[in-house]
Each structure stands twice: as C-alpha cells, then as structure tokens.
Structure 1
Amino acid sequence: MFDDSLLESPDLESHEGLRRLASTGARIRRAALENPVGRLERADRPRGVLALGSEARLVRAVLEPVCPVPFMAWPGPDLPAWIGPLDLTVVLGNRQSPEWVVACAAEAARRGASMIVAAPPESPIAAATASNATTLIPTSEADPMAAAVAVLTQLGALGLGPVVHTGHVADAADLVAEACAPGRDLAVNPGKTLALELADGLPLIWGGSVLAARASRRIAEAIRRATGRPALAADASELATLLSAVKARDPFADPFESEAEVRPVLLMLDDDGPQSRLRELARSLRDRAEAVGVRVARISSGDGEVELRAGDVERYVTLLQRGLYGAAYLEIGLGRPDVG
C-alpha cells in the first residue's frame, strides 16, 4: 500500500536517490568543464555520423532533424561496413560498457574514422579508440545523460547539430530539483503529486515528440525499477488500443465492497516546444482515457518555468527529471528500500 505520509519524512533529505537527482545539474556542468583530449575542426564535415553506446538514441533524437549529413544510432553488434576514414563515430561509454560497443569502437578507429568518445580516460573504450583522429571527452561519473550533453555540445560546435548551452541544460535540471525538493510540501511538489497519481495504477506513458518519447521510455524504466510493477511507454496508437480494451469504470461501485481493481493511469509528457500538430493527437488520447474512467496525469516541460524558446535538450531534461522524481517518491511511498 502507498503511504503518502512517508513523503513528508524529514529523513528524505538524506535519501540517496533524491540526492543523486538533485545533483544532476552539477554533474552536467562538471562534464562540460572537462577539456577534450584532441580536437576536431569544424571544416572536417564527415560523410556520415554513427553513434554507439549509452544514450546514443538521445543523441539521435537531437541531431536527426538538423544534422546536415546522414546520422544513425547503431544497435550493434557489428560495425556497419560503410564506416571509414570519411565518417565520424560517436561513442558514449563507461568502464562497464558492453563488449560489442568496445569492439565496434576499436574497429571504427582501426578503419581510420574520426571519433568523439565520451568515457573515463582509463576505460577499455578510451584505450581502444586512442588515435590522432579521436577527440576524447573525459568522464569521471556514471551519468550517461551528462556525458550525452557534453557530446551534443561538441557536435553543435562542429555544426553537426543544434547549439547546446550546457549551462541552460544544467539550470533546467536545477529548476526541477528545486520544485521537487523533499522539503517542499506535497501540495506544491510536482514529484510527490506525480507519485500520488501513479500510486495505485499501472502507468501507460506517452510522449508525442521524438525527445518526449525518449524521456517516456526512461521514465518507464525508472518506474519499473522503483515499484517492481509493469510500466509501458508506447506510441499513441498502441496506447489507444490498450485503452479501448479497458472496462469502463462504474461510478456507483463501492470501492470497499471488494478488492480494488488495479487500473491503468495515462501519463502524458507535454513537450511545450513548437509541436502544435501533436495537440489533436494528445486530445484524442486523453478523451479516450477519460471515456473509460482512466486517470490522466501530466508532466510538462514548461508550466511557465521554462520559456517556450528553450532548446530541445533543456525540455528533454525537464521532462525526464520530473518523471524520475515521481518514480523516486513512488518508491518511497511504497516503502521499498532506497537503492539509489
């Protein structure tokens, strides 16, 4: 059972998971301050770009709409045959990167591809990709998103993606941390509110834009880890199919007469950027849920706190962090142990 009184405990100031979320902005700033080893010149525009490793799909979501050359996030396990000296390979890794990522990175370096590698200097990936054509962004923390922001900043400087202002991205994370701080009362804390909305349901999560969809999958993973329950992130058509199979709620049923039915909760991620074409799709999905009595929860990347001209990465971080705080408070309210 979910106990909302646990969300007001003074001990939450020392909760490992909440403290880690609160330091996200600081980790993003530290990753950006690391001086790259080696440097690519803007004039060296590649024939194509391939991304490997953790958060490669986030890099793809940001770059694909604006990248002037073909871009691909590669799932492995072997390196594509076309990668060669005219191409750029982007690798995001750590000390525990899968063997196939290390092998693909080493093969790309052997073929003479230019490389941007975000990894600890002493990691197997850094050793396997060391060359005159490699730019190494040293990372010392196990935070894939901070490394991805550092990579996106470098790619933007090379003219291969949008300009990313690391300070703005870190500020977006800090704003969420302030709003969702454990000392803030449940009535004004969006993270605690989200936990209450999801407490007795099975989350169905939708993000309309490419970046919101990516955030929805990360949030679903966090909810599954936090609760041990199913949580699904999917496209609108797939969620609509599931909602159409939900039995309409009986408004006259006595919830205390029998064991309560576990019902879905629709969680909608609003990317407040210029996505007006998605508004009708969002309205249709919300109406379908409300027609059968399914609760609708919402996470916004704006709500007046972030200007609508904020960049894609800032909006993504805002959506993701708000969802991760909700998952953390959900774990706390269910009385599950703090796993960080």
Structure 2
Amino acid sequence: MTWEPERLDDQRHLGEGDPGGMLPAVAASAAHVRTGYRTAVEARLDRLADHGRPRAIVVAGMGGSAIAGDILAAVVGNGAPLPIVTLRSYQLPGWVGATDLVIAVSGSGETEETLSVATQAVRRGCTLLGVGAPGTPLEAIARQASAVYVPVPVTGQSRANLWLLSIPPIVAAAALRLVSVDADLFERVARSLEDLAHRCRPSSESFINPGKSLAMDLAESVPMVWGSSPAASVAAYRLVCQLGANAKYPAIHGELPEADHHQVAALDGPMAERDIFADTASRTLRLVVLRDVEEHPQVTRRREASLRLARERDVPVTELTADGVHPLERMASLIGLGDYASTYLALGYDIDPTSVSAITEVKARISQ
C-alpha cells in the first residue's frame, strides 16, 4: 500500500474506492444530528426525570458507540453535580446500583459487551436508557425492563452514525437538568456540519479542501494527536479511532497537560529523526494539536511550549482550532474534520474505509 495524494482528486477513484459509502455517511452528519434529536424527543426522554436525579451516569458502549459517553461528559462539563463515566467493558463496576442511570449505546443493538452491561444494570435495579437500532436484542432488554429506548435509524458501521447515537444521551442529560441545550443548539451544530460537508466534498480540490489537506499532513507519519481541553481531547481520541478503523492507520492519543508528562519525550526519540537525504519518504512523528478556546491558562502555556519544542526539533506540526461557542459545536467542528481526513487518508492509500476485516475476524475467532 503506497500513499498517492493524486488519488484524492481523482473523482472516479473516490467513488470506486469507497464502495461502502463512508464519505456519503460522513456527509450525512448534519442530518444525523437532526434525526437524533427528533428521535430522542419522540422517545419521551423527559420521563427519566420521574426517577429523580441519579447518583451517577454510566454510559456503556464499544467503539464508535462509546464515544457518545465521552461527548456527553464533555458537554455537561466540569460543573456536573454527578460523575459521568464511559464504560468500555463487559462488567458493570461494583459501585453501580439502583440510584444510578446506565445508558447502553449500541449502533447494531447487538454488541455483546453492551448487552452484558445492560443486563447487569436491570438486575441491579438501575434506571436504564437504551440507544440503538430498532428491533434488536438491546431494545428487547430495555422493553422487558420497562426502560426507555431510543430507536435510532442506524445504517452501516456504528462509527458512521456518531451523531445519531450521541445526541439522545445529551437530550437525556437536559431532561435531568444537568445541561441546558435546546433545538436551536442542535440546529447550529447541524448547519456547521453542513458547511464542513460542502468544504470537504470530494469534488473540492486538495489545496482548498480541509479534509484532504489534513489527510495529506497525516500521510507517511506517525500522528501524536493531543487535545487541549476535555472537549478537544474527545475529538483527538475520535480522530485516533477513526484513523485505525477507516484508514487502518496507527496513531497516538493524548490530552494536555497529561501528555507533557510522558508523550512529549517522544520528540527526542527515534521516530522524531528525519533523513532529508533519503530517496523515499520515511515515516516520522507528527504532532497534531487540537485547540479549544476553553483550555486552562496553564494548558495554553504548555501547548505553546510543546509546539515550539517540536518545531525546534524539525518535527512536523499540525494545529487545528475548534469553531463555535458551545462545547458541542466545537467538538463537532473538530470531529467532522477528522472523520473526513481519516476517510481521505484511507482512499489515498487505496484502502476501503468501510471494511474492518480484522475486527470481523477477531469476533469470529472468539465466537468459536
């Protein structure tokens, strides 16, 4: 597999190389925001308030579904009067009990880890909220327990349905008065994603297309992706996950200030060395920093110092700034760009961004 950037402006290749339609799926993000909100409202999530405010919220999910928990925690923010925990596991923690809310998120509605946690939540008397495809085992568990379920119209891979799965938990948090959001916010997010879809459309050439430009930055490098706030860190983690799933490409996630206590040392390591006389491009470290306007003042100083350190060592740097006023808007601006970049990176390497044969093979092996 070789990187050929000219593929990104070859409209025929972009169509034939993406048989599963990952690019159209990313372009549908705005519609997913609107549908996710409408479906959540129709599911009467306001009923969750009947149980009172929970002691804690546990969001259970795997892969693209689990990001919903990270997004929820970042939207509610540090002022939350209760802990919001994302659980990527088969086992519900021992401290979770009848006074807690468990939100089980599964795009397929069949994720075995999530089904296990949802079943345990029902047995312990937790309040359960299910989010996933209709007519699935997850919905059956929720309905049998008389729990609220949001049947979202998921198609294709769960990671391509991020906003369908992430909006309902935010609406649930609003019903519990943990965060103030309304239809106008979700419409602003949808409009910003529509604008991004226009700028990142396949027919837009690489030199003006931010998605293609970021893919070209990441190609032939080992990206170390840092977020400068909890919201930006969610987007950084999402980008790393999308690079793995879409482009089959390794990357490293970090969050400032923590990354400055270990990962920054990689700027002095073997992957930071560049051979300018090499006949072929060598895969070297690239520092990718996702900025947020709400970063801590000391984090701002650390970010600026880290970027200077990288540039002084001739380590390539990419710095992206979130757009928007609300944390959800800012996350969406960074996540949307990363989703496009990971898809274009796959297509530049002539890799099908939808195929996940290794994941499928692992599932088949453990089921034997």
TM range (shorter): 0.7 to 0.9
**Paired position in structure 2 for 1:7:** 8
Rounded Cα–Cα distance in structure 2 between residues aligned with 1:177 and 1:311: 20
For 2:60 and 2:277, locate their aligned partners in 1 and report how far apart those are by CA, in whole Å. 53
- Whole-Å Cα distance in 2 between the matches of residues 82 and 2 of structure 1? 49
Q: Deviations over 1:291-320 (max 9, x none)?
A: 111111122212xxx3xxx21111111111
Where 2:320 maps in the other structure, the secondary structure is strand
The percent of aligned pairs where both chains have the same amino acid is: 23
Q: Secondary structure at the match of 1:233?
A: strand
In the alignment, what sits opposite 1:254?
A: 277
Partner residue in 1 for 2:28: 23
Note if contact 2:127-2:147 (Cα within 8 Å) is conserved in structure 1: yes
Q: Secondary structure at the match of 1:40?
A: helix
Match of 2:227 among 204, 207, 212: 207
Question: Shift of residue 133 of structure 1?
Answer: 5.7
1:161 paired with 2:200, answer no
TM-score, normalization by structure 2: 0.81
Structure 1 range deviating more: 161-170 or 16-25: 161-170
Higher deviation after alignment, 102-111 or 40-49? 40-49
Deviations 1:232-268 (A, max 9, x none): 1124223311112245557xx4344xx4432111111
Q: Please give the alpha-carbon distance, in whole angstroms, between the structure 2 residues aligned to 1:229 and 1:33.
A: 35
* Per-residue deviation, 1:46: 1.9
For structure 1, the 5+ residue unaligned runs are none
Cα distance change on mapping 1:101 and 1:300 into 2, 3 Å:
same
The residue matched to 1:95 in structure 2 has which SS? coil
Say whether 1:113 aligns with 2:126.
Answer: yes
**Number of aligned positions between the proteins:** 330
CA distance in 2, matches of 1:147, 1:115: 16
* Distance of 2:100 and 2:113 partners within structure 1: 20
Alignment map for 1:60-71 (pairs within 5 Å):
60-71=73-84
**Cα distance, 1:275 vs structure 2:** 4.4
1:66-97, Cα deviation, whole Å (9 max, x unpaired): 32223332343322344343322222123354
Which is worse superposed, 264-273 or 123-132?
123-132
Runs of 4+ in 1 over 4 A off after TM superposition: 246-250
Please tell me whether the aligned partners of residues 212 and 271 of structure 1 are also in contact (alpha carbons under 8 angstroms): yes
Residue type matched to 1:2 in 2?
W
Q: What TM-score do you get using the length of structure 1 for normalisation?
A: 0.87
Deviation at 1:324, TM superposition (A): 1.6
User: Match of 1:297?
Assistant: 318
SS at match of 1:46: coil
Stretch moving more, 137-146 or 269-278: 269-278
Hey, what does 1:224 align to over in structure 2? 244
Contact 1:79 1:108 in 2 (8 A): yes
Distance 1:249 1:94, change over 3 A: closer
Paired residue for 2:58?
50
Q: 1:131 to 1:63 in 2, by over 3 A?
A: farther
SS of alignment partner, residue 286 of structure 1: helix
1:102 aligns with 2:102: no
Range with greater deviation from structure 2 (208-217 or 33-42): 33-42
- Name the counterpart of 2:43: 36
